[in-house]
Amino acid sequence: MNRRSTTAAIAITLASALTLTACGGSGGDQVKADAKQTLTVWAMGTEGEKLTDVAKVYEKANPNITVKVTPIGWDVAHQKLVSAAAANKLPDVMQMGGSYMTEFADMGVLEPVDTKTFQEKDYFPAGWKQGQYDGKTYGVPWYVDTRVLFYRTDLAEKAGISKAPATMAELQQAAEKYQKKAGTKYGLSIQPGGLDTVQSFYQFLYSAGGEIVTQDGKAVANSAEAVKALENYGSYFKKGLAEKSVRPGYDVTKDFNNGSVPMFFGGPWVMGLIDENYPDLKGKWAVANVPTDETSASMAGGSALTISADSEHKAAAKEFIKYLTDAKGQADWYQRTKDLPANVNAWRSGELATDPNMKVWKTQMESAKVSPAQPKWTEITSKIDSAIEKVAQGKASAKSALDAANSEIEGLVQK
């Protein structure tokens, strides 16, 4: 059975017909790296917008190469990639979110990474591991992502809080103090439901020692550790410490600025948003590592750069990816986007080496947990999203919600 053709055939029936502007090659004759050619590149969200500027710099240094960047919104990225893969119309180079990698590697539409050019030792272990599937590496880490605790230091002083909460018990105590003594509307912002709620839950789950699926393919979403984590998570809604209903497109930084929300877990890009949009907050907030339960652990996210298996421009694509992921390119990308560099060598000088905030991110990234390599991971995590929402709304206990989710996940797991 041809895994690629059967998976793609299934995928195209699920995805709606979309107009695709970029296309890869047919896998025929390969064009040399320095020959005159056009590289098609898909990148998502803010990265897609920022990459256009970097591509122009690259083109000046490599006049034979034209880099055509197509920015794609994260809300439609997965659907577009699935449709393009099914139609053999993937671009030469594409940004691949960590949760997508296994699915597309399983389809057979990605070119294995040249591990002589790109070496594992140069990247955060979690970043490199996200690109691996079935004994091969398919993505070069571009940037890494994790979550840490953002908290208002000025409001903490009013609440009688002298330091960042170090344990999960202290986190809830701090939320209560902010609310009662500093007059904040809520104590902590966590997501109560909707798409990718699991990303808000991971900090609780992983720190409690829980998992959704083990690395060897066993569904354990209803383990004692996971139930404990969801009970803790749900208690914030039950006690009125977190908002039960968050509108689509909710921007927590607005409430962080006005003081109604004094704490939240966020990614590295949030620091730039706060600095740019709320300059008056300077000196009134800080970041800290995820409070410890059994351990202090956060999710490992980020994106890799991949090459289409059908591309006729693999040599040039490899050179472009090398430019984006070496230490110099990574430091430049950080300055443009505040994305955390995946290349550990980029952290050895400048702001990344000296800023205390960046040390918090680096420490958290070193212990970040990678999701298991499961082709249906997006579907699997949607079951956890639903379980969390039931608990947040008081419609189910943590145990019953996770029991139901786990029974569904068992049928989706690939062992």
Please name the helix (run of DSSP H) or strand (run of DSSP E) that holds residue 94, with its range, or none. strand 93-97
pLDDT at 1 over 50: no
Is the Cα dihedral 130, 132, 134, 138 positive or negative? positive
> Which residue range is the domain that position 9 belongs to?
3-145+301-365
Answer yes or no: do 105 and 154 share one domain. no
pLDDT-based confidence at residue 22 (cuts at 50, 70, 90): very low
Would you state the pLDDT for residue 11?
A: 41
Would you state the pLDDT for residue 26?
A: 40
Instruction: Check residue 412 and give left, alpha or beta (phi > 0: left; psi -120 to 50: alpha).
Output: alpha
Q: What would the mean pLDDT of 221-234 be, rounded to a whole number?
A: 98
Largest CA distance in the chain: 69
Contact 196, 384 (CB under 8 A): no
Answer yes or no: do 291 and 267 share one domain. yes
| Calpha distance 27→32 (Å, rounded) | 14
Q: Which two tokens stand for residue 168?
A: 């999960």
Q: How many CB atoms lie within 10 A of CB 245?
A: 10
| pLDDT tens, position by position, 398-412 | 999 999 999 999 999
Answer yes or no: do 266 and 385 share one domain. yes
Answer yes or no: do 281 and 392 share one domain. yes
Q: How many domains does the chain have?
A: 2
Answer yes or no: do 266 and 154 share one domain. yes
* Coil, helix or strand at residue 364: helix
Answer yes or no: do 130 and 152 share one domain. no
Q: How many CB atoms lie within 10 A of CB 73?
A: 10
pLDDT at 14 over 90: no
Least confident of 15-24, 150-159, 319-328: 15-24
Answer yes or no: do 73 and 212 share one domain. no
Q: How many CB atoms lie within 10 A of CB 36?
A: 10
Q: How many CB atoms lie within 10 A of CB 351?
A: 12
Q: Mean pLDDT across the chain, nearest whole number?
A: 92
Would you state the pLDDT for residue 169?
A: 98
Would you state the pLDDT for residue 27?
A: 47
Would you state the pLDDT for residue 28?
A: 52
Q: What is the CATH number of the domain that holds 247?
A: 3.40.190.10
Q: What are phi and psi of 168, to 5 degrees?
A: -65, -35
| pLDDT tens, position by position, 330-382 | 999 999 988 999 999 999 988 899 999 999 999 999 999 998 988 899 899 99
Answer yes or no: do 283 and 392 share one domain. yes
Q: Which two tokens stand for residue 306?
A: 């991949």
The torsion angle over the Cα atoms of residues 307, 312, 314 and 316, rounded to 10 degrees, is: -120
Answer yes or no: do 205 and 221 share one domain. yes
Would you state the pLDDT for residue 360?
A: 96
Answer yes or no: do 378 and 322 share one domain. no
Q: What would the mean pLDDT of 235-255 be, rounded to a whole number?
A: 94
Answer yes or no: do 28 and 135 share one domain. yes
Would you state the pLDDT for residue 23?
A: 42
Least confident of 94-103, 253-262, 280-289, 378-387: 94-103
Estimate to the nearest angstrom the gap between the alpha carbon of 71 and the chain centroid. Answer: 18
Answer yes or no: do 47 and 108 share one domain. yes
Alpha helices in 118-167 (DSSP H): 125-129, 153-159
| Calpha distance 240→111 (Å, rounded) | 49
| pLDDT tens, position by position, 180-218 | 999 999 999 999 999 889 999 999 999 999 999 998 999
pLDDT-based confidence at residue 170 (cuts at 50, 70, 90): very high
